[in-house]
Chains A and B, each alone.
Chain A
Amino acid sequence: MPLPADTDASTPKYLRDKYAIVGVGETVYTRGSGRTTRAMGSEAVRNAMADAGLKPGDVDGMLSYQGVDSTFGPMIAGDCAMRLNFYMDVFGGGSSTEALIGIAIGVMEAGLCKCVAIFRSMNGFSQVRIGGTGARSAAPVSGDMLHTRAYGWQSAGQSFAPTFMRYMHDYGTTPEQVAMVKVIHSEHASNNPKAYYKKRMTVDDVVNSRMICKPLHLLDCCVETDNATCIIVTRAEHAKDLRHTPALIRGVVGRCNKPRMDMHYQAGPISRVAGWYAKDILWPNSGVGPEDIDVTGAYDAFTFTTMLQLEDYGFCGRGEGGDYVSSGIMRLGNKRPNNTSGGHLCEGYTHGMNMVIENVRQLRHDIDDSCPIGPDGKRQHTYDYKEGGCRQVKNVEVTANLGWAMPGTGSAMVMRRG
């Protein structure tokens, strides 16, 4: 969709369109990589550099995020023959992708470096599972976890479930409506050769899969995988020398919070998520609104997280999330596809990176599906979204990513085609 005519992109405060994502890369999505996070991380960074057409001396900044389950940036940088002018490894999982892109813009604007590679490398299936099972479950508990883990309340799904249950209670949303998130993402994944799960699912498949923690069935939960991913950000004016049409960054929100992020003790409705607050930064700073967005990347740790975020960012009205996600609007070929890669539910689990990578490729009009490659080296997209077919959305101009850490914390980003 074209940008509104009254968009003021000259306001220096917002840095609209001044920075761009110029390179993206990843490893294969697998369960049981048999590799170190250092090996995978170096490969993802190398792939993103090759994608952009950057040489080692061109990248002088590095950011990563992790939960004591990865390799520090300087090791990866060394392996990739970079000398860094800036790096930082931060703690965190979901919602970090957009937040770190914002940090990258800030440190480049401050003159600390000129081109930043952001990576996330994780053996999320074979080593440290985010559910907190295995080694993590035996650790003594302290802080606010005294009041969850001691009672058997440990995993992300268990932590978020009361938010989902309360939402269903307040708005009459059905499990069948929410299951459509998985159905649609599985259709998208079937057109993504990289996706870990490529099988198309039905609503019955989802609601008949075994209950993990009410209201989450197995197929409402994302797939834990081993993989590394990388995104390279630099000034937009440098992008013209590089290989691809840049994905210009319109606006970013980083780890925006509800009044209390320790979720079950917070004031106010627990069914409200951080997007309710983040939207007031995202849309004004980006100069667009939900109606201007062609493709969304609403984080799908669970089917519910996609729905709740789309609602609180204003893609539908209060309580209408179930209608929105079950209407088919998010399906390839319809008005506003969501997570065209299959997302965390199907492609693989990256703590948000793959959803941004996917939208960068959508904005290039060069998504990596099975369509034939033409003489110019670009895929000749058919826009036939049948199983195994195309997943390029027609004429994508503006995308939104809605990143999730937990109900109380989220990040977001709007990009446009350069």
Chain B
Amino acid sequence: MTNDSYDKPMPEPTPDSAPYWAGLQQHKLLLQKCAGCGRIRHYPRPMCDACYSTDVTWVEAAGRGKVHSWTITHHAFVPGFRDELPYVLATVDLEEGVRMNAQLRGADPVSLRIGLPVRVDYERAREGLTLPILRAEG
């Protein structure tokens, strides 16, 4: 850990996920695309479970999807998130056919529902780390 005030879990990119984290810095949501069979997968991982190829290309996602499920956290499991309570966590079906997780921001809790259209936005968490966030569409 560095000595700045960021007290949330700090991702350590792996060889498989580094392009994903670098893409977020550029405000791009990058998904792995199998170089063998073309299947898109997320989260980043080393091998295609359709054809076993380990070769990947990266494609930029449209950044749109629908809420598959969600939860609201009211308890500070991690001290670094205490000031954000309550916060919404959503798992979203992207248009590209994969699921992603992120915080959903700015939505009225009573409007939350499965199927809610969302778009991906970006938030600078600290120097060198940008995280994806979700916003309700329309």
Binding site for B on A (CB under 8 A): 131-133, 137-155, 158, 161-163, 165-166, 169, 210-215, 260, 262, 264-266, 270
What's the nearest-Cβ distance from chain A to residue B57, in Å? Answer: 19
Residues of B contacting A211 with CB < 8 Å? 72, 74, 86
> Does A152 contact B89, Cβ atoms closer than 8 Å?
yes
What's the nearest-Cβ distance from chain B to residue A274, in Å? Answer: 18
What's the nearest-Cβ distance from chain B to residue A334, in Å? Answer: 32
Tell me, in angstroms, the Cα distance from A190 to B21 when the chains sit together: 51
Q: Given contacts A152-B89, A166-B69, A213-B73, is CB(A139)–CB(B100) below 8 Å?
A: no
Q: Given contacts A151-B103, A169-B114, A270-B91, is CB(A162)–CB(B69) below 8 Å?
A: yes
The answer to whether B131 has its CB under 8 Å from any CB of chain A is yes
The answer to whether B87 has its CB under 8 Å from any CB of chain A is yes
> Does A137 contact B114, Cβ atoms closer than 8 Å?
no
> Does B89 contact A158, Cβ atoms closer than 8 Å?
yes
Contact of B99 among A142, A143, A154, A264 (CB under 8 A): A264
Contact of A162 among B1, B14, B45, B71 (CB under 8 A): B71
Tell me, in angstroms, the Cα distance from A76 to B61 when the chains sit together: 53
Q: Given contacts A137-B9, A264-B101, is CB(A155)–CB(B69) below 8 Å?
A: no
Contact of B79 among A137, A147, A264 (CB under 8 A): A137
A-B contact pairs, 16 of them (CB 8 A): A131-B77, A140-B9, A141-B9, A142-B12, A146-B43, A150-B10, A150-B131, A151-B131, A152-B77, A152-B78, A158-B73, A161-B69, A161-B89, A162-B71, A211-B74, A212-B73
The answer to whether B84 has its CB under 8 Å from any CB of chain A is yes
> Does B11 contact A210, Cβ atoms closer than 8 Å?
no
What's the nearest-Cβ distance from chain B to residue A263, in Å? Answer: 9
> Does A210 contact B77, Cβ atoms closer than 8 Å?
no
> Does B75 contact A265, Cβ atoms closer than 8 Å?
no
Q: Would you list which residues of chain B between 88 and 102 have a CB under 8 Å from chain A?
A: 89, 91, 98-102
Tell me, in angstroms, the Cα distance from A367 to B11 when the chains sit together: 49
> Does A158 contact B77, Cβ atoms closer than 8 Å?
yes
Tell me, in angstroms, the Cα distance from A144 to B100 when the chains sit together: 11
> Does B8 contact A150, Cβ atoms closer than 8 Å?
yes
Smallest CB gap from A140: residue in B: B12
Smallest CB gap from B42: residue in A: A265
Q: Given contacts A132-B77, A133-B78, is CB(A150)–CB(B71) below 8 Å?
A: no
> Does A210 contact B9, Cβ atoms closer than 8 Å?
no
> Does B71 contact A147, Cβ atoms closer than 8 Å?
no
Smallest CB gap from B114: residue in A: A169
Contact of A155 among B77, B79, B114 (CB under 8 A): B77
The answer to whether B25 has its CB under 8 Å from any CB of chain A is no
The answer to whether B68 has its CB under 8 Å from any CB of chain A is yes
What's the nearest-Cβ distance from chain A to residue B112, in Å? Answer: 9
> Does A165 contact B71, Cβ atoms closer than 8 Å?
yes
Smallest CB gap from A221: residue in B: B75
Smallest CB gap from B109: residue in A: A214
Residues of B contacting A154 with CB < 8 Å? 9, 77-78
Smallest CB gap from B43: residue in A: A147
Tell me, in angstroms, the Cα distance from A121 to B102 when the chains sit together: 35
Tell me, in angstroms, the Cα distance from A412 to B74 when the chains sit together: 33
7 residue pairs, one from A and one from B, having the closest CB atoms: A161-B71, A162-B69, A152-B81, A166-B69, A214-B72, A149-B9, A155-B77
Residues of A contacting B7 with CB < 8 Å? 138
Tell me, in angstroms, the Cα distance from A146 to B13 when the chains sit together: 8
- Residue of B7, B9, B75, B81 with highest tally of chain A CB at under 10 A: B9
Smallest CB gap from B125: residue in A: A150
- Residue of B8, B14, B81, B102 with highest tally of chain A CB at under 10 A: B8
> Does A169 contact B9, Cβ atoms closer than 8 Å?
no
Tell me, in angstroms, the Cα distance from A143 to B44 when the chains sit together: 9
Residues of B contacting A264 with CB < 8 Å? 91, 99, 101
What's the nearest-Cβ distance from chain B to residue A173, in Å? Answer: 14
Tell me, in angstroms, the Cα distance from A141 to B11 when the chains sit together: 5
What's the nearest-Cβ distance from chain A to residue B77, in Å? Answer: 4
Residues of A contacting B8 with CB < 8 Å? 150, 152
Tell me, in angstroms, the Cα distance from A61 to B79 when the chains sit together: 42
What's the nearest-Cβ distance from chain B to residue A217, in Å? Answer: 10
Tell me, in angstroms, the Cα distance from A145 to B73 when the chains sit together: 17
